[in-house]
Amino acid sequence: MLYGAGLGVVLAILWITLSGYLDKPLLLWLGAGSVAFAVFLTVRMRILDRETVPYARLPRLLFYYVWLGGQIFAANVAVLRAMLRPSIDITPRLTRVPAGQRTELGRTVFANSITLTPGTVTVEVEEDGFLVHGLNEDFIAPEGFRVMGEQAAAASDGGARK
C-alpha cells in the first residue's frame, strides 16, 4: 500500500509539473483519474514493489548520480586526451565485468552507468555480469568497474550484493 501511495504522489507531481494546469478543474480531475488508473494497472499487474517504486532510495540515488557525473566528466577528459594525441592510442578491448548486484534495478543502474561513461559500452548482459567494450586498456581497468559496481549497489540495492 505504501508503494502505491508513493507512486501516486510521484505521478501526480510529475503530471502537475508537466501540464502546468492548476486552474482548470476538469483537467485536474482528468489528471487525478489518469494517475489513479496508472496506479491501478501497476497493482493489477502485480509489479508494485521496491524496484518499481524506488523513491525510498531517492536521496542515495541522487548522490550516486552526482558521483557518476564526476566520473563521466573525468572519462570525457580521458577520451579527449586519447583523441588529441599526435599518435592516436586506441586499442579497443572487450572484457567481462562481474555484476554482484542483487536486484534487476541494481544491475540496470550498473550497466547503464558503464554505457553512460565515455569510452565504455555495455555490449551484452550475461547471467553473472556484462560484456563491456572499452576504448583502450585504461578504460577497462577492473578497479574502476569494482568501485562503480559498489556505488551502484549501494545506491539501488542498499549496498547488499549477491
Query: What is the C-alpha to C-alpha distance for residues 136 and 90, in angstroms, rounded to an integer?
Result: 6
Side-chain half-sphere exposure of 123, counting CA atoms within 13 A: 13
Is residue 4 within 8 Å of residue 50, measured between CB atoms?
no
Q: What is the structure's pLDDT at 52?
A: 73
Q: What is the structure's pLDDT at 88?
A: 77
Predicted confidence pLDDT, tens digits, the chain (162 residues) = 778 888 899 999 999 999 988 899 999 999 999 999 999 999 999 888 877 777 777 888 889 999 999 999 999 999 998 888 888 778 899 999 999 888 888 899 999 999 999 999 999 999 889 999 999 888 999 999 999 999 999 988 765 445
Residue spans per domain, the chain? 2-44, 57-156
The DSSP element (H or E) to which 120 belongs, if any, is strand 120-125
Nearest to 35 by CA among 55, 61, 9: 9
Q: What is the structure's pLDDT at 61?
A: 85
Q: What is the structure's pLDDT at 32?
A: 95
What is the torsional sign of CA 13, 151, 128, 93? positive
Q: What is the structure's pLDDT at 97?
A: 95
Q: What is the structure's pLDDT at 5?
A: 87
C-alpha cell of 4? Answer: 502505491
Query: What is the C-alpha to C-alpha distance for residues 114 and 31, in angstroms, rounded to an integer?
Result: 36
How many residues in the chain? 162
Q: What is the pTM of this model?
A: 0.72
